[in-house]
Amino acid sequence: MKAKSVAFLFVCSLIGFMVPLPRLFHHYDKVLHALFYFAAAFILNFIYPRRWHLIISGLFLFGIMIEFLQEFSNKIVGKMIHGKFDIQDVKYNTIGLIIGTICFFTIQFLIQMISVKNKNVDA
């Protein structure tokens, strides 16, 4: 069930990044990149907590792949339907990825500390 859900989210993300951003959100493009990667890292780390290194690597490579695919799709269509490869998008993807992973580990640490404290109180 987890794998199907993650595959579905991957396909939705791929489609979402290939669809042009409405003009209303153009000023928030970098923030949206960071928020998406924050949420993706945070959620995937909770689903697969022992595979955090694969999640970080996979999401980082996914972000680079999306940038290349956007530029490649412009060449296939013959007109600009997406932006060009933007290293700033990759930068903000990475920032969101790092912050999401740090938040995951912080929450995991706090959960463990509370668990240890509750065990000591019960003993």
What pLDDT sits at residue 75?
76
Phi/psi at 85 (nearest 5 deg)? -55, 125
DSSP category for residue 78: T
What average pLDDT does range 95-113 have in this prediction? 95
**Number of domains observed in the structure of the chain:** 1
The predicted-structure confidence for 47-100, as pLDDT tens digits, reads as follows 999 999 999 999 999 999 988 888 787 777 777 666 778 899 999 999 999 999
CB 104 within 8 A of CB 41: yes
CB 47 within 8 A of CB 59: no
- First vs last Cα of the chain: how many Å apart? 38
What pLDDT sits at residue 63?
92
Residues spanned by the domain of 70: 2-122
Say yes or no to pLDDT of 45 above 90: yes
Handedness of CA 56, 62, 63, 65 (dihedral sign): positive
- Give the burial string for 83-114 (b: 16+ CB within 10 Å, else e): eebbeebbebbbebbbbbbeebeeeeeeeeee
